[in-house]
Chains A and B, each alone.
Chain A
Amino acid sequence: MPILVIAEHDHGTLKGATLNTITAALDIAKFGGGEVHVLVAGSGAAGAAQAAAQVAGVAKVLLADAPDLAEQLGENVAAQVMAIASNYGHLLFPATAHGKNVAPRVAALLDVAQVSDAMKVIGADTFERPIYAGNAIATVQSLDAIKVITVRTTGFDAAPATGGSAAVENLAAVADSGLSVFLGSEIAKLDRPELTAAKVIVSGGRALGSNDKFNAVLMPLADKLGAALGASRAAVDAGYAPNDWQVGQTGKIVAPQLYFAVGISGAIQHLAGMKDSKVIVAINKDPEAPIFSVADYGLEADLFVAVPELTSSL
């Protein structure tokens, strides 16, 4: 049976998480799965479909294009997936806010279980996934005929965005569910890389003390490094940083080349979100801070002195 990847996209282009999910699908294909197909459900989404067709390893792209799919409402996208789900042995979604919204809806409608946050493919029906905030790794086997999986993008490399030449096939779009209406969104316009795609991340904790100081101390460093900004839950709860900057068990899972933890003590829930980073730097004045137990380089110092000094020496 072929494998279906449900693309995350902004209609014009594919989101990066889709490329990691395609790699996971290709890993499953090595264990005897079939071709890898990509579903692009959107509105005016020919651009995203063309992008998907060029991804190396993709055999076919299915495009469902309708105004009712413009806002990517979970009810409608799930119904669109259901229209073709029975043709597939695996349905893969990136484990992003969007994928997590839609995938369980599809699984329940198919009466199958879902494997959340697959981080490694062991076999066509067997996967590794983190439990207890990543403090344990479970190997789980799906016993259902159709496997619904969300893919932890940090566990898989991005598939090459070029090199493929798949055909794009049009699908009939499903009707609007009538259950929910999109009213609006406030998406921060970032002139820095997206947190989950950044090569360098500068994260701040409660020790920053205020929103003003958070920005004043960390932004120049992030600017210099071309880094994304992140935060601990404590810093977000205190209002120093926006909600979607939170790195951790229930926030973003990141694995950049270089992660700066500034004034972050290192609660297990935070470590769950960043401990797969290649190099971790911790700057903290508390010598006992747990963050030092995972940091490659620890600097025991007052962050208000050390960070500006670091910024100016880069």
Chain B
Amino acid sequence: MKVLVPVKRVVDYNVKVRVKSDGTGVDIANVKMSMNPFDEIAVEEAVRLKEKGVVTEIVAVSCGVTQCQETLRTAMAIGADRAILVECADELQPLAVAKLLKALFVKEQPGLMIVGKQAIDDDCNQTGQMLAALAGLPQGTFASKVEIADGQATVTREVDGGVETVRLKLPAVVTTDLRLNEPRYVTLPNIMKAKKKPLEVLKPADLGVDVTPRIKTLKVVEPPKRGAGVKVPDVATLVAKLKNEAKVI
């Protein structure tokens, strides 16, 4: 079975972004970029399924600027077999990415698509569900466990208050939550090997997809600052402040 795994290039998890002074966005010039952490979990899950013999080929896909090739190389260093970049310098919103992925689903015919539940830049949490809808597939979102057998995926989902388990007909879309797995560290030999793996470059037009944004960002500002309060010397003072000053207990 073939698996398709989309990966997004985002500002690294550890970087605290700054809002541009003209309010047009956040400043990402000269900032460290990495693979979206949830997508790393998705690639790792695909590789584990391949190691179990369930999956035969892993295709990593990224949609975005030329530099997304680095993200795809990382995916291949973790264990993806080949990569496709849908190159586009313009802003790509989740609906557009879902349409590009749907076109690749039709082209590549994977049995499973494993998608990060959320990108840590726009925090949208949309692409996997949109992809499933457009392709007419079942979805197992926020997965903490995935098992594949007999043409079906059994997915344990993290929901409010606990977990639930659903069984999906394949092909299906699974979106990853944090506890699905812990991605491996990429080794130098694997980074070297990844450089030789095939990477195909397409344009949105090659897939017949209109990627025009449907949401306009009018401005981006810093959130209201929360000022630091006071340090209290001991528990008694804390209790007194909560009772008499904040009046919350």
Contact = CB atoms under 8 A, between A and B. Distances in A.
Q: Are A and B associated in one complex?
A: yes
Nearest to B11: A132
18 contacts: A98-B159, A100-B129, A103-B129, A105-B132, A108-B129, A112-B214, A132-B26, A136-B17, A136-B26, A136-B223, A139-B218, A141-B216, A177-B138, A194-B160, A194-B161, A244-B160, A298-B229, A309-B235
Q: Which 3 A-B pairs have the closest CB atoms?
A: A179-B138, A296-B229, A104-B129
Interface in B163-206: 163-169, 172, 177-179
Given A135-B223, A243-B158, A314-B239, A181 B167 contact: yes
A183 B167 contact: yes
A182 B223 contact: no
Contacts of B93: 113
A182 B164 contact: yes
Contacts of A179: 137-138, 168-169, 172
Contacts of B229: 280, 295-298
Interface of B: 11, 13, 16-17, 19, 26, 38, 93-95, 98, 117-118, 120-134, 137-142, 144, 154, 157-169, 172, 177-179, 213-223, 226, 228-232, 234-236, 238-239, 241-242, 246, 248-249
Nearest to A184: B165
A187 B156 CA distance: 12
A10 B192 CA distance: 53
A138 interface: yes
B94 A185 contact: no
Given A185-B164, A299-B235, A313-B239, A131 B133 contact: no
Interface residues of A, number: 90
Nearest to B16: A268
A233 interface: yes
Interface in A170-205: 177-188, 190, 194, 196, 200
Interface of A: 73-75, 78, 96-98, 100-109, 111-117, 126, 130-144, 177-188, 190, 194, 196, 200, 225, 233, 236-237, 242-244, 246, 249-250, 257-258, 268-269, 275, 278-281, 292-301, 306, 309-310, 313-314
Contacts of B129: 74, 100-105, 108
Given A97-B160, A258-B248, A306 B215 contact: no
